[in-house]
Amino acid sequence: MTSVNARNQIKEHIIMNLSGFEARIKDKVRKSVGMTKASSTSGNLKPFHEALLPNWVNLASTIERSLSTTLGTTYEKCAYIIAKEKHPYAKIQHKIQGLITNPEIAIIDSIIEEIDRDGMRVPYMDYLEQVLQVHKRGGDKRVVVSDIFVKTIDDTEFYFEMKTPKANKTQCLNMTRDMLTISALRRGSDTKVETFFAMPYNPYGTRKEDYNHSIVKTYMDIEYQVLIGAEFWDFLGGKGTFNELIQIYEEVGNEFFKDVIQRIGSD
């Protein structure tokens, strides 16, 4: 659970990212509210639908579509605010620097080529073991950037890649490459290293088994590589953090969008 201070920081961050949102959607709103399009190259004209729906329904739909990109920029900072309160150390865009040998690079390249061709047909941990088995001292310098880095009280290092829940194939392959590379770079340390693809929410339901995006399920190991929704947020801040974060977003929405909708709707 988050403190009052953390809640306020999260609210301020969300509101800051929403600044300018009103101006960005005004043109879209003017085009979609109170007027019927004359033509549509994609064949989506629905004049009776548009005539039947109240203006505020069209307005809400326009806002929702425009909001997705804006919200995507808020999750990383929220994760950092929550993590730094719960754990000894947390950082955004953390650089992992170290040495990696040619055999390690070669096996990682081979693994990525195999997954690219056949999908994730064996558990991720089997691939990781292949990389760790060829580890030797020395090598060339390599730098990998992790979206969120968290060090827990028992000195375990957690590296999170935060991407859209519907990641594409290239993103999946790149995340697996980065995860394997981070583990190779940190192999010589005495600390335990964990790497994950962290999804801020599950677009398919509340349970992990509900998740059903075929690309991620094909090219990543859902069980060992991925933390989804509450699983991720509750790790960062403790049980109930996900629900509390949803509540914070709801509070901001009630305060912010009520005025925005009234102003835009009256233009």
Q: What is the secondary structure of 98-141 as a DSSP string? A: EEE-HHHHHHHHHHHHHHHHH-S-S-HHHHHHHHHHT--S--EE
Average pLDDT of the chain, as a whole number? 86
User: How many Å apart are CA 234 and CA 20, to the nearest integer?
Assistant: 31
**pLDDT at residue number 169:** 98
The SS3 assignment for 35 reads coil
DSSP letter for 193, please.
Answer: E
Residue among 7, 14, 150, 24 at smallest CA distance from 75 = 14
Of the candidate ranges 124-128, 132-136, 181-185, the one whose mean pLDDT is the lowest? 132-136
pLDDT of 224 above 70: yes
Mean pLDDT value of segment 203-211: 93
pLDDT band at 173 (very low <50, low <70, confident <90, very high): very high
Q: Do 218 and 120 touch, CB atoms closer than 8 A? A: yes
The H or E element that residue 64 is part of is helix 55-72
User: How many Å apart are CA 151 and CA 146, to the nearest integer?
Assistant: 13
Mean pLDDT value of segment 234-259: 89
Taking only Cα atoms into account, the Rg of the chain, rounded to an integer number of angstroms, comes to 22
Q: What are phi and psi of 75, to 5 degrees?
A: -65, -40
The SS3 assignment for 189 reads coil
- What is the percent of the chain where pLDDT is above 70? 79
Q: Do 186 and 98 touch, CB atoms closer than 8 A? A: yes
Q: Do 78 and 245 touch, CB atoms closer than 8 A? A: yes
pLDDT of 129 above 90: yes
Q: Do 150 and 89 touch, CB atoms closer than 8 A? A: yes
Structure tokens at 230: 């509450």
**pLDDT at residue number 41:** 60
Q: What are phi and psi of 40, to 5 degrees?
A: -150, 120
DSSP letter for 208, please.
Answer: G
Give the model confidence (pLDDT) of 4-42 as tens digits.
Answer: 999 999 999 998 888 777 666 666 655 554 445 555 565
DSSP letter for 90, please.
Answer: E
**pLDDT at residue number 12:** 92
Give the model confidence (pLDDT) of 174-192 as tens digits.
Answer: 999 999 999 999 987 888 9
Q: Do 213 and 201 touch, CB atoms closer than 8 A? A: no
More confident: 180 or 252: 180
Give the model confidence (pLDDT) of 47-64 as tens digits.
Answer: 655 555 555 555 666 666
The SS3 assignment for 86 reads helix
Query: Which residue is associated with the tokens 């605010």?
Result: 81
**pLDDT at residue number 34:** 47
**pLDDT at residue number 65:** 67
Residue among 170, 110, 102, 112 at smallest CA distance from 138 = 102
